[in-house]
Amino acid sequence: MPTRILIPTPLRVYTGKQDVVEAEGGTVGELLANMTDTYTDLRKHLYTDDGRLRSFVAIYVNDDDIRFLDKEATPVKEGDTVSIIPSVAGGRAS
């Protein structure tokens, strides 16, 4: 059964303006690989040239950051929601 992946606003341009997409896989890595096979322009925003997940992209399974679990080997099951959270920087000092 497909898992829901929540797409943040800045990346929706690469998913046909969809805020939620579905992909299949037993781990976060498999889900992201299958999702980026479908939405190929999204790949360069999530992965480095050598295939590693970019350091400024956080991935959550439900409310848990995969960096503190098994990273891309984190298992997903039916009913889980995966969220992509890109880091935001900038602003100005007050």
pTM of the model: 0.88
pLDDT tens track for 24-70: 999 999 999 999 999 999 999 999 999 999 989 999 999 999 999 99
Question: What separation in angstroms does the CA of 67 have from each of 1, 61, 73?
Answer: 24, 11, 10
CA 42/CA 49 separation, integer angstroms: 13
What are the structural domains of the chain?
3-86 (3.10.20.30)
Q: How confident is the model at residue 87 (pLDDT cuts 50, 70, 90)?
A: confident
